[in-house]
Amino acid sequence: MENADIESRALDAAERLFYEHGVQAVGMDRVRAASGLSLKRLYQHFPSKEVMVEAYLRRRDRRWRAALAEHVAHRPAGRDRVLAVFDWLHVWFGEPDFRGCAFLNAFGEMGTGSAAVAEAVREHKAEVREFLLHLALDARTEDPELLADQLAVLVDGAIVTAAVTGTPEAAHRARAAAEALIPATGRPWTGR
Amino acid sequence: MENADIESRALDAAERLFYEHGVQAVGMDRVRAASGLSLKRLYQHFPSKEVMVEAYLRRRDRRWRAALAEHVAHRPAGRDRVLAVFDWLHVWFGEPDFRGCAFLNAFGEMGTGSAAVAEAVREHKAEVREFLLHLALDARTEDPELLADQLAVLVDGAIVTAAVTGTPEAAHRARAAAEALIPATGRPWTGR
DNA sequence: TAGCCTAGAGAACGATCGTTCTCTTCGCCA
DNA sequence: TGGCGAAGAGAACGATCGTTCTCTAGGCTA
């Protein structure tokens, strides 16, 4: 078996378990059972649980942002594309295994205990904010930096609200708020 | 020693430890050492760790909402009072021991593992949303229910963003977003 | 003062944690 | 075919988890 296959299998199991139950609640033996790999092999590729958690978060970050980017790319650049972020969130919130933000959950658990995990979470949030900044720039808004920060707050707020309430409605509320933050000119990308 | 004193001492230690390090990362023996109480006494008042965690969350909920309400009560009812919520958040975010939302952190850790904890978190968020609804009603806004939902999203978004970034700036961004959501009439509470 | 009852501290329990080690099995090359 | 090296499963390690139990010390009553 290839190294990449092994790591993929391990992270598939780790992601499912860590995301559903939390990191601390899942032991390495449970990852072993779910992945079908031996403990020895797991520790060959991830020298400690902390490394595995970090790898889980970094892979999820790439996939999560890629899925979001892929979704909004289908809309024309500008205001619509910004709002499409919240449509994508709404779909995600409705998935049966949705359990909030994996990064915020991990940060809450291990933020003070693991610098590596905390850094991975910070980087994820910074990347998302960067992505939102690009959308804000494309929409030719007055203050793209401010809008990016505000969108980031709305996105995270919607995620945690949806997780706690158990309904995807927060995405619609956040979308409506975002609409109020973006000047609704007819063709915002042409300048004025 | 009175029962109330014992529970207070226990919860003081539990709150400090659980909030700083997370619930799962802190053992009962650590609560015992920090509180100066015996393990036996702790279990007399809290028959299990889960009960203690729930008590910690419920007491923190009361104090947190009381502190917020006390702060905004100093502003005149209406738009200013809504925005004062974010000023209070900014002060909170700047405190050295700020580590995000105790409820969201606990929910991420034990949301699927403890129904009692999950319920306490849901109730806290519902109470906060109810408080925001009262502010929205006092501000005579067009759609108070929608505004309350949006403010709740902004509040939670600001909290988690401040926790991850380590700066209180998110409160200002959320406040600016809230300003855009509230029609800036001269005296909004008079109707129009 | 003698005996009893409560409550204290913390040792100990079984389970499980992250991690390591042993022991067996299997495939490869001379 | 016989011997060797790598890799498999899972037992075992010490630590720590939540929880319970033991043992001792002290205050109250007769």
Q: What is the mean pLDDT of residues B38-60?
A: 95
Same domain, residue pair A116 and A154 = yes
In strand D, the nucleotides that come within 7 Å of a protein beta carbon are 7-11, 16-22
Q: What is the mean pLDDT of residues A54-60?
A: 97
- pLDDT bin (cut points 50, 70, 90) of residue B2 is low
Distance from CA of B98 to the nearest CA of A (A): 12
Same domain, residue pair A75 and A140 = yes
Same domain, residue pair B6 and B71 = no
Q: What is the average pLDDT score of chain A?
A: 92
Choice between B157 and A188, residue whose per-residue pLDDT is larger: B157
Nearest-CB residue to B112 (from A99, A149, A173): A99
Amino acid at position B16, single letter: R
- pLDDT bin (cut points 50, 70, 90) of residue A184 is low
Nearest-CB residue to B149 (from A100, A107, A173): A173
CATH number at residue A186: 1.10.357.10
DSSP codes of every residue in chain A: --HHHHHHHHHHHHHHHHHHH-STTS-HHHHHHHHT--HHHHHHH-SSHHHHHHHHHHHHHHHHHHHHHHHHTTSPTTHHHHHHHHHHHHHHHTSTT--S-HHHHHHHHHTTT-HHHHHHHHHHHHHHHHHHHHHHHHTT-S-HHHHHHHHHHHHHHHHHHHHHH-STHHHHHHHHHHHHHS---SSGGG--
The total number of structural domains in chain B stands at 2
Looking up tokens 């919860």, which residue turns up? Answer: B11
C-alpha pair distances (Å), A26 with each of A13, B22, B36, B142: 11, 15, 31, 47
The residue out of B47, B63, B78 marking a domain boundary is B47
Closest CA to B78 of B136, B125, B19: B136
What are the structure tokens assigned to A141, written together? 């808004």
Euclidean distance between CA atoms A164 and A70, whole angstroms: 27
CATH number at residue B37: 1.10.10.60
Amino acid at position B131, single letter: F
Same domain, residue pair A80 and A3 = no
What are the structure tokens assigned to A47, written together? 């020298």
Sign of CA dihedral A148, A56, A50, B57: positive
Q: Is the pLDDT of residue B111 over 90?
A: no
Q: Quote the distance between the C-alpha of residue A88 and its chain's center.
A: 12
In terms of CA atoms, which chain B residue is nearest residue A19? B108
Same domain, residue pair A150 and A92 = yes
Q: Is the pLDDT of residue B137 over 80?
A: yes
Same domain, residue pair A41 and A61 = no
Looking up tokens 């015992």, which residue turns up? Answer: B32
- Asked if strand D comes closer than 7 Å to A33 Cβ, the answer is no
Same domain, residue pair A128 and A168 = yes
Same domain, residue pair B39 and B98 = no
Euclidean distance between CA atoms A143 and A165, whole angstroms: 32
Q: Is the pLDDT of residue A59 over 90?
A: yes
A136-182 pLDDT, tens digit per residue, is 999 989 899 999 999 999 999 999 999 999 999 999 999 999 999 99
Same domain, residue pair B38 and B87 = no
C-alpha pair distances (Å), A93 with each of A1, A170, B127: 35, 9, 22
The conformation of residue B37, written as its DSSP 8-state character, comes to -
- Asked if strand D comes closer than 7 Å to A37 Cβ, the answer is yes
Closest CA to A164 of A111, A113, A104, A87: A104
Euclidean distance between CA atoms B152 and A166, whole angstroms: 15
Element (H, E) at B95: none
A31, closest nucleotide (Cα–C1')? C18
CB atoms within 10 A of CB A161: 27
What's the pLDDT at A190? 42
Nearest-CB residue to B99 (from A101, A111, A174): A111
In strand C, the nucleotides that come within 7 Å of a protein beta carbon are 8-11, 16-22
B16-36 pLDDT, tens digit per residue, is 999 999 999 999 999 999 998
Euclidean distance between CA atoms A123 and A129, whole angstroms: 10
- Asked if strand D comes closer than 7 Å to B9 Cβ, the answer is no
Same domain, residue pair B39 and B57 = no
What is the residue range of B31's domain? Answer: 1-47
Euclidean distance between CA atoms B31 and B18, whole angstroms: 9
Same domain, residue pair A150 and A175 = yes
- To the nearest whole percent, how much of chain B has pLDDT over 70? 94
Chain B positions in Cβ-Cβ contact with residue A169 (cut-off 8 Å): 149
- B112/A170 CB distance under 8 A: no
Looking up tokens 């709002």, which residue turns up? Answer: A83
- A112/B21 CB distance under 8 A: yes
Same domain, residue pair B31 and B96 = no
Looking up tokens 């919607």, which residue turns up? Answer: A158
Distance from CA of B159 to the nearest CA of A (A): 8
What's the pLDDT at A191? 39
Closest CA to B82 of B14, B31, B162, B147: B147
Q: CA-to-C1' distance for A52 and D4, Å?
A: 34
Interface of A with B in 103-142 (CB under 8 A): 103-113, 121-122, 125
- B150/A111 CB distance under 8 A: no
A73-103 pLDDT, tens digit per residue, is 999 989 999 999 999 999 999 999 999 999 9
In terms of CA atoms, which chain B residue is nearest residue A162? B153
What's the pLDDT at A69? 97
